[in-house]
Chains A and B, each alone.
Chain A
Amino acid sequence: MFIFFCFLPLIVFSLAFLALPLVRLFSASVEGELGWSIYGEILSNPRYMQSLLDTVLVSLAVTIAALLVATTAALFLTHNRFRGRSLLIASLTFPLAFPGVVIGFLMILLGGRQGLVNNISSNVFDTRLVFAYSMVGLFFGYLYFSIPRVLLTVMATAEKLDPALVEAARSLGAAPLQVLRDVTLPGLAPALIASGAIAFATAMGAFGTAFTLATDIDVLPMVIYTEFTLSANIAMACALSVLLGLVTWVLLMFARSLTGTSIAASG
């Protein structure tokens, strides 16, 4: 009985905030004039499929880049003590508080037509360098808010790794890269999987940044927004949302099983 009461909040939460809205979303998607064939319509529409592919690719690129940058930084910060370290760590978490719109502003300030990078490159190299309004701008924007999430998770785990493990590997003759491959990364694996999943899912669903940078970025959340507000095609917006959720979920499951087997087979 007591156990049941412990589960109660989880059950209520799952039903109220996950299951019910999802069921409603799904039923709304097939209640339009196309009925169930709306999903066939999506699959045969090159614009939708292209935007899905672009969304997956940019999210994947962001996840990989964030894991690389954040893991390197986390390992450095864990093993080195220096003046201003805590201040640096505190300020690295800064982007967490920003909404996507602000991240978009920052990207425009950096890579827009009047941006810092363009000003410098125009004056010094006499070439225009504008990347804010494209997938590249989106990539950097997403990277900017993904790195802190990954960094914090990886650092928390890196600090708990027994330093004797690395010393043991070295005592057995392992070179630094072998230590990284055989000891450090396997030790960090749970954190890398968890934070990579969060980074990927967040990037798949991010909207504010794309909306701010706008013009020619067609990621799936933008398409959903357009269908919903401009075309008032509610069934299509719902169907695309279901697709977005489903693809993210399947890819995360796939990555999880893949890393699971690779960890078991390592060594």
Chain B
Amino acid sequence: MTGTELQLLGCAKTFGGKTKALLPTDLVVKPGEILGLLGPSGCGKTTMLRIMAGLETPDAGGKVLFDDEDVTKVPIEHRSIGMVFQSYALFPNMSVRQNVGYGLKVRGIDGPERDGRVDEVMAFCRLEGLADRAIDQLSGGQRQRVALARAVAPRPRVLLLDEPLSALDAALRDTLRDELAMILRGLSMTAVFVTHDQSEAMAIADSIAVMKAGRIEQRAAPEVLYRDPQTDFVASFVGGANRLAGRFEDGELHLDGGTLKTGIEGNQPDHIFIRQEDIQISSPDVSALRGTVIGRVYLGTHTKLTIAGVSETPLVVSLQGATAPQIGEIVGLDIPATSLIHF
């Protein structure tokens, strides 16, 4: 892989002497890797991205490295990064072509060389035919791709994207997400992008750092995060897993809705997780675990059921196939011991 290795060493950020937006963090993004920073709003994702960009300086002791070069004190204009802002921040007084060519223009690249590179990047980002448009004549998806094209045109060492899809209509987001994933992959450039949406992170990233309250909870490939979460937060935030809390006795978990054989021996946790699609619905007469359906959303490929009376909080079950029970029905739940997640 080509590209720059990006490294954070002990980077923390405290605002105004008290808001700890980011706790001391170490992070390596390999050359050409696409890293997703995933976490709920306010957990410090943007702050970390801005430290990488040079828009914030880390608290004393923190270091930012591009390959072996220490860029901690290098201001953003000399870091050679590309950045896509949440609002896109396109220059309203310039055409699409002028926006995309701006990074080349300020570097003194003119004439055919600039035009050639701009055309190349615009074609790559599927912006053919839009060169002379004004910014306010573009759709949301086009704006996002102009922002991306503008950021990559000067061939930055690292590409940074802050919630690049959040400004778009929900209806468009899935298509544009897949398109963005393809473009980013085609660039083979070291990239970090921020999102609060786990499906977005899964679709785009090679590797995901899940953040909570200013620290990275777990950093792994998407499938590893999903299959093998290391913390409660990752299990519920990334996998959408259900939390079952009750009293353990001889490998059995006693819940409001019955008992669950867990096969867990030795150190017994007071709660476990189970993913939505790992729960099967069966007859209440034969199952050791029962609950009442209180919510039912049909989604075509699957049906999402909300079931109360099993544990403290209602369970969410994602059911494939056509015959999902109706609201008000009492159902049995089969939960295979092998699917349980515990720490």
Binding site for B on A (CB under 8 A): 162, 164-165, 167-175, 178, 182-183, 186-187, 189, 263, 266-267
Measured CB to CB, the closest approach of chain A to B321, in angstroms, equals: 47
Please name the 7 residue pairs, one residue from A and one from B, whose CB atoms are nearest each other, closest first.
A172-B103, A267-B94, A164-B89, A186-B93, A168-B89, A171-B83, A267-B98
Known contacts A165-B91, A263-B93, A267-B93; is A178 also within 8 Å of B106 by CB? yes
Among residues of B, the one whose C-beta sits closest to the C-beta of A175 is: B77
Query: Does A182 contact B102, Cβ atoms closer than 8 Å?
Result: yes
Cross-chain contact of B103 among A162, A164, A173 (Cβ < 8 A): A173
Among residues of A, the one whose C-beta sits closest to the C-beta of B81 is: A171
Query: Does B93 contact A171, Cβ atoms closer than 8 Å?
Result: no
In the complex, what residues of B have CB within 8 A of residue A174's CB?
A: 77, 102, 106
In the complex, what residues of A have CB within 8 A of residue B154's CB?
A: 172-173
Measured CB to CB, the closest approach of chain A to B319, in angstroms, equals: 43
**Which residues of B193-239 are within 8 A (CB) of A?**
none
**Interface residue B11 (Cβ < 8 Å from any Cβ of A):** no
The complex places the Cα of A189 from the Cα of B93 at a distance, in Å, of 10
**Which residues of B62-118 are within 8 A (CB) of A?**
75-78, 80-83, 85-87, 89-95, 98, 102-103, 106-107
In the complex, what residues of A have CB within 8 A of residue B92's CB?
A: 187
What number of A-B contacts does a CB cutoff of 8 Å give?
71
In the complex, what residues of A have CB within 8 A of residue B150's CB?
A: 168, 172
If over half of A's interface residues share one DSSP class (helix, strand or loop), that class is named, otherwise mixed; here it is helix
In the complex, what residues of A have CB within 8 A of residue B83's CB?
A: 167-168, 171
Query: Does A162 contact B89, Cβ atoms closer than 8 Å?
Result: yes
Given contact pairs A174-B102, A182-B93, a sample of 4 additional A-B residue pairs in the complex whose CB atoms are under 8 Å apart: A171-B76, A172-B102, A173-B78, A175-B77
In the complex, what residues of A have CB within 8 A of residue B103's CB?
A: 172-173
- What is the number of residues of chain B that contact chain A, defined by CB distance less than 8 Å? 28
Measured CB to CB, the closest approach of chain A to B84, in angstroms, equals: 9
Give 27 A-B contacts (CB < 8 Å), ordered by A residue. Answer: A164-B86, A165-B89, A167-B76, A167-B89, A168-B83, A168-B91, A169-B106, A170-B76, A170-B77, A172-B82, A172-B102, A172-B103, A172-B150, A172-B151, A173-B77, A173-B80, A173-B107, A174-B102, A178-B106, A182-B93, A182-B94, A182-B102, A189-B93, A263-B93, A266-B93, A267-B93, A267-B94
Binding site for A on B (CB under 8 A): 53, 55, 75-78, 80-83, 85-87, 89-95, 98, 102-103, 106-107, 150-151, 154
In the complex, what residues of A have CB within 8 A of residue B85's CB?
A: 164, 167-168
Among residues of B, the one whose C-beta sits closest to the C-beta of A163 is: B89
In the complex, what residues of A have CB within 8 A of residue B107's CB?
A: 173
In the complex, what residues of B have CB within 8 A of residue A178's CB?
A: 106
Query: Does A183 contact B91, Cβ atoms closer than 8 Å?
Result: yes
Among residues of A, the one whose C-beta sits closest to the C-beta of B101 is: A267
The complex places the Cα of A128 from the Cα of B299 at a distance, in Å, of 89
Query: Does B89 contact A182, Cβ atoms closer than 8 Å?
Result: no
Known contacts A164-B85, A168-B83, A172-B150; is A267 also within 8 Å of B91 by CB? yes
In the complex, what residues of B have CB within 8 A of residue A169's CB?
A: 91, 102, 106
The complex places the Cα of A169 from the Cα of B91 at a distance, in Å, of 9
Measured CB to CB, the closest approach of chain A to B154, in angstroms, equals: 7
In the complex, what residues of A have CB within 8 A of residue B55's CB?
A: 167
The complex places the Cα of A169 from the Cα of B75 at a distance, in Å, of 13
The complex places the Cα of A172 from the Cα of B53 at a distance, in Å, of 11
Among residues of A, the one whose C-beta sits closest to the C-beta of B94 is: A267
Known contacts A167-B55, A167-B76; is A173 also within 8 Å of B106 by CB? yes
Most buried by B among A167, A168, A178: A168
The complex places the Cα of A171 from the Cα of B53 at a distance, in Å, of 8
In the complex, what residues of A have CB within 8 A of residue B93's CB?
A: 182, 186-187, 189, 263, 266-267
Among residues of A, the one whose C-beta sits closest to the C-beta of B75 is: A170
The complex places the Cα of A162 from the Cα of B92 at a distance, in Å, of 11
Cross-chain contact of A164 among B82, B87, B106 (Cβ < 8 A): B87
The complex places the Cα of A183 from the Cα of B89 at a distance, in Å, of 11
Query: Does B95 contact A171, Cβ atoms closer than 8 Å?
Result: no
Among residues of A, the one whose C-beta sits closest to the C-beta of B80 is: A173
Query: Does A175 contact B106, Cβ atoms closer than 8 Å?
Result: yes
Query: Does A171 contact B102, Cβ atoms closer than 8 Å?
Result: no
Most buried by A among B53, B86, B89: B89
